[in-house]
Amino acid sequence: MRCLVVQPIDPAGTALLREAGVAVDTAPDTRIETLTPYLLHADAVITRNWGFPAEAMALAPRLRVIGSHGTGVDRIDVAGARARGISVVNTPGANAADVAELALGLALALARGLRDADGAVRAGDEGWRLQHRGTALGGRCLGLWGYGAVARALAPMAQGLGMKVVALSAHASPADLARDGVAAAKDAAELLSVADVLSLHGLPGARPLLDAAALAALRPGALIVNTARGALVDEDALVRALEGGHLGGAALDVTRREPLPADSPLLAAPRLILTPHVGGTTDRGLRRTALAVARAVLAGLGIAPPAGSGT
């Protein structure tokens, strides 16, 4: 059995695969011409935010399992895999606490203007601090659009700052939310009307959750954090909302295109923090996710992990 690791993962994951008797190939880059010789012999692949398109799948005649290093499978040709009987596995929750920490960090960075503060110091602008007025998060409302593993980890972090937390979820019951000290929003309109900070945690659908109308419905000065999926946000509408001054700021760890093209309007938008899809990129998160996806791939191949394998 051979597994192609399309994008690098923590060595603990590749070590587990090898310990189970699976040969591991690591691709130098994600160009199709680079991947082609590896795909010809791959029984399994592990990918990250590159996904796994139909073009790559067509070059892998032996493929049995596609492993997503993370929760998302939207960049994997899931329908094509299903048609060929290829299993698609992922690792929901493996790095949830790490993504939640970044979401909170981004909210704090927006609220306190840390990007501009850093720029002021570097530019020698001594007057910046006299003009700047940060936002205290304590006593304000965090709105969670979705209540999966990351949102559940983020809620108590925000509560620790003294924030009220309100969530809109199609899956969590009011009793589940109440148990966590989280109020339930009855619909999107209510969530948008009360959130001082809106953090996105849903799955992408046919249309973005945050389109122009939703952005306009947010209270003036609201902050937006997206560590979930780029497709959740209408990026052109977000740029217009930032340029128009309606929003206090936004932070995106995920975008529709990754990496961002050099001509993306996001790069010139005011009060916008951009990070390169690093929500789960911590020492703990990378190790846990690599081990989780390796175990899922082994299960898909019908191979039991070695007894006492890494945790």
Q: CA-to-CA distance for 238 and 200, rounded, in angstroms? A: 14
Active-site option among 201, 277, 287, 295: 277
The residue with tokens 């840390």 is 114
H helices then E strands: how many in the chain? 13, 12
The residue with tokens 């503060």 is 117
Active-site option among 140, 229, 287, 288: 229
Half-sphere exposure of 228 (CA within 13 A, CB side): 26
**Is 171 an active-site residue?**
no
Note whether 197 and 142 are within 8 A (CB): yes
Note whether 102 and 275 are within 8 A (CB): yes
Active-site option among 112, 256, 258, 284: 258
**Is 69 an active-site residue?**
no
**Is 229 an active-site residue?**
yes
CA dist 189 to 112, 154, 226, Å? 27, 22, 18
The count of other CB atoms within 10 Å of the CB of residue 41 is 13
Catalytic residue positions? 229, 258, 277
